Amino acid sequence: MASNHNKPRIYDGDGDILMEDQKLHERLVMLPNTKPAPTAIKMPNIRLMWGQNLLDDLLAGKYHSLVCAVNVEDNSHGIIAQLAHMLPTSQWDAQSITEYANWFAHRESLSVIKFDMDAVEVLGLLRPKNHDNLTLSDLRYGFRFVSEMIKQKPIRRPVASVSFLGAKANKLLDIDNPGAEPSFETVLRIMHESGFSGDVYPSPWMWNSAPTAVYPTYPFPDSLDTMRMGGS
């Protein structure tokens, strides 16, 4: 083990010591991922982009596609409208996004609506007409469809997704726990089981998760289940 004297430094000058003293509101405890044996990898992991700004990365051209939710009432506060406004060659705005979504409002199953914004294609998940909120079943159906769309058109990669947690107009609810959102782990499990292997951006309000530690990828290591069962 390296001593404090030869421990690798993160920052120039006194940055390391100064950062130890910071009482930060948004603080993450990141655990290193344990590397499974190659034979145990059935499909690529989902990268979790803790602390990263999704809109900045989209505008920087790091992704070809974005998965998020849309609705038929008002999309002006969602990331899809922000992206449409800031992309210089997009011909969409909040009003036209909402008007277009209304063409699919009659469907009794979740719809995946494509919005071509030139630099980015947005795959918008629209909940069924008889659902007041998104459900986990809706999410599973949507990501199975999205994963197949990406498989049939690989140019949609690299792809990013929102976490679907903390939303207002497009709230995701767990029907087994009325009125409550599911855990982030449950959302990731559904995405992964549905074949999705892009990047997922946790909501900014999740950045102050400390002292709860987080992992940089999903699936999480087996050691987490071991601890849940009382092991160490």
Segments forming the whole domain that contains residue 63: 47-219
Q: Does residue 230 form part of some domain?
A: no
The pLDDT tens digits of the residues spanning 107-138 come to: 999 999 999 999 999 999 999 999 999 999 99
Rounded CA separation 184/143 (Å): 15
Mean pLDDT of 3-27: 77
Quick one: pLDDT band at residue 203, thresholds 50, 70, 90?
very high
38 pLDDT band, cuts 50/70/90, is low
Q: How far is CA 25 from CA 31, 54, 206, in A?
A: 19, 20, 11
Q: Which residue has the higher pLDDT, 86 or 179?
A: 86
Better-predicted residue by pLDDT, 136 or 42 = 136
| 184-201 mean pLDDT | 98
Query: Is residue 32 situated within a structural domain?
Result: no
Q: Tell me what pLDDT residue 212 has.
A: 92
Question: Does residue 215 sit within a domain?
Answer: yes
The residue type at 74:
D
Query: Which segment of 13-22, 30-39, 123-132, 161-170 scores lowest on mean pLDDT?
Result: 30-39
For the ranges 23-27, 71-75, 160-164, the lowest mean pLDDT is seen at 23-27
Whether the pLDDT of residue 230 is over 90: the answer is no
Residue 51 lies in a domain: yes
Report pTM: 0.91
pLDDT at 35 over 80: no
112: in domain: yes
φ, ψ dihedrals at 90, nearest 5°: -80, 140
CATH code of the domain in which 118 resides? 3.40.220.10
Does 17 map to a domain?
A: no
| Number of domains observed in the structure of the chain | 1
Q: Is 178 left (phi over 0), alpha (psi -120 to 50) or beta?
A: beta
Whole-Å CA distances, 104 to 71, 112, 124, 181: 10, 9, 11, 25
| CA distances (Å), origin 116, targets 37, 68, 84, 178 | 40, 14, 10, 35
What pLDDT is stored for residue 1 in this prediction? Answer: 46
User: Average of pLDDT values for 14-36?
Assistant: 78
Flag whether 108 is in a domain: yes
The whole-number pLDDT of residue 140 equals 98
pLDDT tens string 64-98: 999 999 999 999 999 999 999 999 999 999 999 99
Q: Where are the alpha helices (DSSP H) in 31-93?
A: 54-59, 79-86
* Distance between CA atoms of residues 204 and 191, nearest Å: 20
Is 34 inside a domain boundary? no
